[in-house]
Amino acid sequence: MTEENTCIVQAMAPMLRTRSHFSRPLVLALGAALIAWAGSAEAGRSCENRPLTPEVMAKGLNLAARTSKALDAEFQKNGTQVVLLARQGQDLSKYDLKYSHYGWAYKTPAGPWRVAHKLNECGTAGGHVYRQGLGEFFLDDMWRYEAVIQVPVPAVQQALFNFLTAPSVLRLQTEPYSMVSYVWGMKYQQSNQWATETLAAAMDPHVIQNRAQAQAWLQAKGYEPSSLIIRAFSRLGGRMTAANIAFDDHPNDKRYASRIETVTVDSVTQWLQRTQMAAAVRVVQ
């Protein structure tokens, strides 16, 4: 098993190569290898303990194949080597949000696309960074089997590619995890927050060495988080029943006003387009 196919940090999980077209043996092998893994490391979904059924696996692999085809076409046409790739792991419509989780997908020299993203270890308050194939990225009982691709401008792609394919990818990883971590906080770090802070570090790698510097860069570039209205009763219930939800890092004035400011896919894609760092999003169904 190569470094490209393993968890980047100590929390290990089976990693299998993902191809543009999925053969029956590959599907069967992937399913067998992921039975023990499924549900152990997730982001952008409720983390419920549900079995990985053949139907769920087929839907995920089909979406992965369609996404791979779209990415390969983008690479052939424009030389695109890095994209923002997002999925709909849970229904967030009550917060006026569509996509729950994103990572950076990049084209490897060997051919397949890999996704660098942070995952929460289910049932815990910890998260780690993974490199996964497209099949694994979509192998989940998602809310909707739809992906979104956003292509950064060439300079941003190159900076991200250099950063993601080097050990520096772990520079800003913080293990303590909360799904609703405060956008400008240091105590926790959720998945979309890691990916966004990593973008900042990639754009100025010699200067940005820590999360505080990355967040300062994002503020200077005009990034604005989503402000979720989460009432006190909901906050209390979430904190009591889930290890990966905490609100104690949010400023008291905002928390008591039920304003939870956190990094979301929607806020990132809108910001990237607004600042002309990336094109408009494209949907893969």
251: its two tokens: 């400023």
Q: Identify the top-confidence range among 18-22, 97-101, 189-193, 238-242.
A: 189-193
DSSP SS3 for 151: coil
Q: What is the pLDDT of residue 37?
A: 36
Partnered with residue 115 across adjacent β-strands are 105, 132
Q: What is the pLDDT of residue 99?
A: 93
Say if residue 249's pLDDT is above 80: yes
Q: Which residue has the higher pLDDT, 194 or 242?
A: 194
Say if residue 240's pLDDT is above 90: no
250: its two tokens: 């949010």
Strand locations in the chain, DSSP E?
41-42, 82-88, 101-107, 113-121, 127-133, 144-150, 226-229, 259-262, 282-284
Q: What sign has the CA pseudo-torsion 175, 180, 181, 183?
A: positive
Which conformational region is residue 222 in: left (phi greater than 0), alpha (psi within -120 to 50 degrees), or beta? left
Q: Name the nearest CA neighbour of 104 among 118, 115, 112.
A: 115
Q: What separation in angstroms does the CA of 243 have from each of 141, 157, 276?
A: 21, 35, 37
User: Parallel, antiparallel, or unpaired: how do β-strands 127-133 and 41-42 relate?
Assistant: unpaired
Q: What is the pLDDT of residue 199?
A: 98
pLDDT in tens, 105-128: 999 998 999 999 999 987 789 999
**Percent of all residues in the chain with a pLDDT value above 70, rounded to a whole number:** 78
Q: What is the pLDDT of residue 268?
A: 98
> Which run of H or E residues covers position 74?
helix 54-78
Say if residue 217's pLDDT is above 80: yes
pLDDT in tens, 37-69: 334 455 544 456 667 788 888 999 999 999 999
Q: Name the nearest CA neighbour of 107 among 89, 130, 133.
A: 133
pLDDT in tens, 143-164: 899 999 999 999 999 999 999 9
- Structural domain boundaries of the chain? 3-284
Q: Which residue has the higher pLDDT, 241 or 141?
A: 141
pLDDT in tens, 63-104: 999 999 999 999 999 999 999 999 998 888 888 899 999 999
Give CA angle at 138 (62, 173), nearest 5°.
155
Mean pLDDT on 221-237: 72
Note the pTM of the prediction, 2 decimals: 0.83
Say if residue 129's pLDDT is above 50: yes
